[in-house]
């Protein structure tokens, strides 16, 4: 199934091509045609499965010929739980609207910054991405009108409810026109989410994508006992002596990710770190390069590993252990393939030994260990 098959217009397809997305993800494949038809949707799919584009793309296309010209009337409201997410989601909308045959404007609003520029920005706005509190403040100042609103999106609904936004959400729903399309996306389907679903959605299409099961059987795993000071040299030794071309390295912190990437570069190995402190643009560049084989080593934190959408990776290195065994399996999961198993390598210090034991137990696999002192590097 290609993006074209989903009924997306040529101008949307062109913007997708710029992102170098090859194929729609599962949640996109199932959601896009439904949203294009104007129907309500309940989308449950794991983090990193591409939910943002799943709603942003059809929403953009649905706006064609329907954008409001009335001042301070908005067409689409996207509610998100956090400031970071409001910025991220708005960036996604903007990145897909460079080539539209019609005028389009989107904006993110969130608390913690001055409200005045946000009030000014409401002029001729189509898509507003907002956190609930700031949206209500703006509405109280009469900054925008909802009469032309045709679509409401709740993104990360589970998180929004966990953070206690239920009251604010109810107040916002009461302000919106009754006739509208409702799209509810969440990583999990909690009882609280179901309450909102029943209240908000009319005969929704339910799209539920299960988290991919990682089959650890198909992964060549090996561990190296190594001291903290020798991790850098061991990493370089492994990459160089095996002549690996595409290596994903995990660290436990942003700081360490930068440090490891710097050190590799100083030693002539092309490496870049990606983590939450890097801009969306720079992350995307690094990922594209890495995917296309133009970047040898990508150093990442766990947070971002979920956004790394590469189906298969030959080599994953756990430079530092993650706290949770689940994250460990998630990290190494991309190397597991029946026909072509990859390598997952884990560095284990004296202090890690116990924790690595716990991880192996949880994963129900025993990992063969090599003492790095026995290697010449």
Enumerate binding residues for Mg ion (CB under 5 A): 51
CB of 103 to ligand ADP, least distance (A): 25
b/e string for 289-320 if b means 16 or more Cβ within 10 A? Answer: ebbeeebbbbbbbbebbbebeeeebbbbbbbb
In the bound state with Mg ion, the residue whose beta carbon lies nearer, of 158 and 352, is: 158
Which C-beta is closer to Mg ion: that of 51 or that of 275?
51
Stretch that binds ligand ADP, among 18-26, 174-182, 249-257, 324-332 (CB under 6 A): 18-26
**Checking DSSP bridges between strand 127-130 and strand 76-79, what pairing results, if any?**
parallel
Residue ranges in 221-240 that form contacts with ligand ADP under rule CB under 6 A: none
Write down the least CB distance from residue 306 to Mg ion, Å: 10
**Interface size with ligand ADP, residues (CB under 6 A):** 14
Shortest separation between residue 311's beta carbon and ligand ADP, angstroms: 10
Among residues 43 and 223, whose Cβ is nearest to ligand ADP? 43
Q: Which does 21 bind (CB under 5 to 8 A by kind): Mg ion, ligand ADP, none?
A: ligand ADP
| Among candidate residues 242, 279, 292, 251, the one with its CA nearest the CA of residue 20 | 292
String marking each residue 257-296 x if it binds ligand ADP according to CB under 6 A: ----------------------------------------
Kindly report the number of other CB atoms within 10 A of residue 61's CB atom.
Answer: 18
Residues 32-91 binding ligand ADP (CB under 6 A) are 45, 47-53
Query: What 8-state DSSP symbol labels residue 276?
Result: T
DSSP 6-36: GT--HHHHHHHHHHT--S--HHHHHHHHHHH
274 binds, among ligand ADP, Mg ion, none (CB under 5 to 8 A by kind): none
The CB density around residue 119, as the number of other CB atoms within 10 Å, is: 17
Report the nearest approach of ligand ADP to the CB of residue 129 (Å): 13
Q: What CA–CA distance (Å, rounded) separates 248 from 246?
A: 7
What is the spatial distance between Cα 284 and Cα 254, in angstroms, rounded to a whole number?
17
21 counts as binding ligand ADP under rule CB under 6 A: yes
Q: Pick between residue 180 and residue 283 the one whose CB is nearest to ligand ADP.
A: 283
* Cα distance between the two ends of the chain: 48
CB of 49 to ligand ADP, least distance (A): 4
Give CA–CA dist 143/71, Å, rounded. Answer: 10
Query: Distance (Å, rounded) from C-alpha 151 to C-alpha 365?
Result: 48
* Residue 155: CB minimum distance to ligand ADP, A: 7
Q: Least distance from C-beta 162 to ligand ADP, angstroms?
A: 16
In angstroms, what CA-CA distances link 99 with 10, 11, 76, 87, 93? Answer: 10, 6, 19, 21, 12
Binding-site string for ligand ADP from residue 305 to residue 344, where x marks contact by CB under 6 A and - marks none: --x-x-----------------------------------
CB of 150 to ligand ADP, least distance (A): 22
CB-based contacts of 321: which residues, under 8 Å, 6+ apart?
Answer: 252, 328, 346, 348, 352, 355, 356, 359
Cβ proximity to ligand ADP: between 84 and 194 the closer is 84
Query: Which of 16, 63 has the CB closer to ligand ADP?
Result: 16
Q: Which residues bind ligand ADP (CB under 6 A)?
A: 21, 24-25, 28, 45, 47-53, 307, 309
């Amino acid at each position: 199934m290609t993006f074209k098959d989903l009924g997306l217009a040529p101008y949307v397809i062109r913007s997708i091509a710029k992102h170098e997305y090859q194929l729609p993800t599962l949640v996109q494949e199932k959601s896009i045609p439904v949203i294009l038809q104007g129907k309500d949707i309940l989308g449950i799919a794991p983090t990193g499965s591409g939910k943002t584009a799943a709603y942003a793309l059809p929403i953009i296309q649905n706006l064609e010929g329907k954008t409001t010209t009335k001042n301070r009337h908005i067409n689409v409201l996207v509610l998100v739980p956090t400031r970071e997410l409001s910025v991220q989601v708005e960036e996604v909308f903007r990145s897909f609207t460079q080539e539209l045959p019609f005028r389009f404007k989107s904006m993110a609003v969130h608390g913690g910054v001055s409200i005045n520029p946000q009030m000014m920005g409401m002029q001729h706005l189509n898509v507003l991405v907002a956190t609930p509190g700031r949206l209500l403040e703006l509405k109280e100042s009469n900054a925008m009108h909802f009469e032309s609103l045709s679509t409401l999106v709740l993104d990360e609904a589970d998180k929004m409810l966990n953070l206690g936004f239920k009251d604010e959400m109810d107040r916002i729903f009461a302000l919106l026109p009754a006739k509208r399309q409702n799209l509810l996306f969440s990583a999990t389907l909690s009882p609280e989410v179901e309450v909102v679903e029943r209240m908000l959605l009319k005969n929704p299409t339910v799209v539920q994508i299960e988290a991919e099961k990682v089959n650890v059987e198909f992964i060549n795993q090996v561990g190296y006992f190594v001291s903290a000071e020798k991790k850098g040299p061991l990493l370089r030794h492994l990459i160089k002596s095996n002549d690996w071309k595409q290596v994903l390295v995990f660290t436990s912190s942003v700081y360490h990710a930068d440090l490891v990437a710097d050190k590799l570069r100083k030693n002539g190995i092309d490496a870049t770190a990606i983590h939450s402190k890097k801009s969306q643009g720079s992350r995307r560049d690094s990922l594209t390069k890495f995917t296309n084989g133009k970047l040898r080593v990508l150093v990442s934190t766990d947070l971002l590993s979920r956004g790394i959408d590469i189906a298969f990776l030959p080599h994953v290195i756990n430079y530092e252990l993650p706290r949770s065994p689940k994250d460990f399996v998630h990290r190494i999961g991309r190397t597991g393939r029946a026909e072509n198993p990859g390598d997952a390598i884990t560095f284990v210090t004296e202090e890690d030994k116990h924790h690595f034991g716990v991880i192996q137990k949880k994963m129900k696999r025993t990992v063969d260990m090599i003492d790095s002192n026995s290697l010449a590097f």
